[in-house]
Amino acid sequence: QQLEDERQRQLTNQKLEETDVYGKRRMTLLDLLLNVTIDGQPLSDTDIRQEVDTFMFAGHDTTTSCISFACYHLSRNPAIQQKVYEEIQEIVGPDAARIELTNSTLQDLRYLDLVIKETLRMNPSVPIFGRRSAGDMTIDGVPVPKGMEFGILIYALHNDPELYPEPERFDPERFSEEAIAARRPYSYIPFSVGARNCIGQRYAMLEIKTMLVKVLANYKLLPCEDKNRLLIKTDMTLKPVNGAFVKIVKRQ
């Protein structure tokens, strides 16, 4: 609350000449939230804190979960790991372990993108979404009245063998353009879809890509013993029980 009050005071006293090259003042997330209005009314302190929590905290566990699962799957699929490494060497360059990554470079890592999507298919960071129906409807012959609360089981959807044959097999090619075109819409929704989808999904993908590039540029991932095979649990997010075990070997 103290930080919020102080920033509000600073914004009130902000000098108009503080502009960027486009003639507009740069604004942080907190600045935007303090300035936004809905139907002419500013957000309440509670609303602002909830939005900050969404970005700062809700995005933390989901991102780390995806990175952990991705490292585990890559350790057990050396051919896929090698293909990602070769893409990193080609796109980022031989100094990928040390140089600063740019947004455009990360966007060019297309195969890594497929790997992340397959990770989120097998192990969606949020395995269930809670929703409330906005109106009366019928789904597969089942009446759903307005105001009814229900859960959408993302984990079950993403591991449905009718949609994804051999769902337990890690295969990034499921997300090639041809494969996506052959599947029905909304069969893959790790960030939800529609007006209530994840507001931070683009940022999350950049975080995950950045971490995986740096990990794979520096280390080779190897599988651990079978006794350390992946076990999962569901809290607010899908997580590995006791962690996702991999061996790391420094690249020469």
Is 18 inside a domain boundary?
Answer: no
CB 223, CB 76: distance < 8 Å: yes
Q: How far apart are CA 183 and CA 50, in angstroms?
A: 36
Residue 210 is assigned to a structural domain of this protein:
yes
The domain total for the chain is: 1
One digit per residue, the tens of pLDDT, for the chain of length 252 reads: 555 555 555 545 554 444 444 445 566 777 888 888 888 888 888 888 877 777 766 677 889 999 999 999 999 999 999 999 999 999 999 999 999 999 999 999 999 999 999 999 999 999 998 889 999 999 889 999 999 998 999 999 999 999 999 999 999 999 999 999 999 999 999 998 887 788 778 889 999 999 999 999 999 999 998 888 889 988 778 988 888 999 999 998
Considering the domain boundaries, does residue 193 fall inside one?
Answer: yes
Other Cβ atoms closer than 10 A to 54: 13
Residue 67 located in a structural domain: yes
Q: What is the pLDDT of residue 201?
A: 86
Residue 28 domain flag: no
Q: Which CATH number covers residue 74?
A: 1.10.630.10
Residue 198 lies in a domain: yes
Q: Does residue 240 form part of some domain?
A: yes
Domain extent, residue 87, equals 44-250
* Closest residue by Cα to residue 4 from 27, 30, 22, 41: 30
Specify if 2 maps to a domain.
no
224 annotated as a binding-site residue:
no
Phi, psi for 223 (deg, rounded to 5) = -75, 150
pLDDT computed for residue 16 by the predictor:
40
